[in-house]
Amino acid sequence: MNFLNRQSTSANALGAIFMMLSMFGFVFNDALMKLVAHELSLFQAILVRGIFACIFMVVLCQWMGAFRVKGGVVNALRHRMVLWRAVGEAGGTFFFLSALFQMPIANVTAVLQILPLTITLAAALFLGETVGWRRYIAIIVGLFGVLLIVKPGTDGFNYFAVYAVIATLFITLRDLVTRRLPKTTPSLLVSLVTAVVITLMGAIGSLFEPWQTITFFHVIILFGAAAILMVGYIFSILAMRDGEVSFIAPFRYSILIWALLIGFFLFDDVPDMISLVGAVIVVASGLFTFYRERLVARNSATS
């Protein structure tokens, strides 16, 4: 029994490390995209990064055997939820990057930490999942934290902060749809479809924007963004493969620490105290939601 406990603790610790590395990959990808924000248009950056991301995803799918799915790739991806998930991801990408290009990276990242709360609320409203009054209060408190970060109606308000909030709605759609995907559909194939859809969005959008000259520096930065994005994705898979999800999931909030550090050292961004308080409130609300979900699941299992 002691050996099993040590093994479980080791798996949890490793999963937590992988989750933090995953969050670093995602936020560093955001930082690289922000580096080219003032020299390339939004859709140009999405297109070039998307091309590299699609290449990486094809290689990853081949390496992980995702193309050898039973019944064939086309049948596996025929489910309408695959397309809806791609729509959610594409909308989230557009609005998130639009906000990121105009706001401090830590502020945008902090707004997105409301996701566990919006997903809980949406699951209750649209999927009929039971949510107790404690979690509803946590959702309200978390939304108050977001208001502190966004600061509507004040001199510090940035219009693009609304884009960050809209991004959370699209990502909530993505995650809800993901729950409805057939278990037989490989997640890597779904991610490949998503990468293709986002790249097509970048290609179409770039037709309506002035095309800026892409230098070797831009190519290197966007290649790095796509590569580190794949690193983040791989570590997120590894994080959830072993250990307890309820233990590992809260380490997603390490992304805020990475965002603060990268924002300070790369962009000289320091969020004001009100935004930091808002971020703490959002994280605390999310952690309480994780705790309540774990408690409810435990009680259901023992009853």
pLDDT at residue 80 above 90? no
Q: Can you give the pLDDT at residue 277?
A: 94
Average pLDDT along the chain: 87
Per-residue pLDDT tens digits for 155-183: 667 788 999 999 999 999 988 888 788 87
Residue 291 vs residue 301, higher pLDDT: 291
Sequence ranges of the domains in the chain: 19-302
pLDDT at residue 1 above 80? no
Per-residue pLDDT tens digits for 240-299: 666 676 678 788 899 999 999 999 999 999 888 999 999 999 999 988 888 877 777 677
Q: What is the pTM of this model?
A: 0.87
Per-residue pLDDT tens digits for 134-161: 889 998 999 999 999 988 877 667 788 9
Least confident residue range of 1-10, 130-139, 196-205, 277-286: 1-10
Measured distance CA(144)–CA(3) in Å, rounded: 45
Measured distance CA(175)–CA(117) in Å, rounded: 12
Q: Can you give the pLDDT at residue 8?
A: 52
3-state secondary structure 37-104: CCCCCHHHHHHHHHHHHHHHHHHHHHHHCHHHCCCCHHHHCCCHHHHHHHHHHHHHHHHHHHHHCCCC
Q: Can you give the pLDDT at residue 263?
A: 92
pLDDT at residue 60 above 50? yes
Q: Can you give the pLDDT at residue 3?
A: 39
Rounded percentage of the chain residues whose pLDDT exceeds 90: 50
Residue 204 vs residue 129, higher pLDDT: 204
Indicate the pLDDT class of residue 303, thresholds 50, 70 and 90: low
Q: Can you give the pLDDT at residue 5?
A: 47
Least confident residue range of 1-5, 24-28, 59-63, 271-275: 1-5
CB crowding 3-33: b at 16 or more within 10 Å, else e:
eeeeeeeebbebbbebbbbbbbbbbbbbbbb
Report residue 175 as tokens.
């995650």
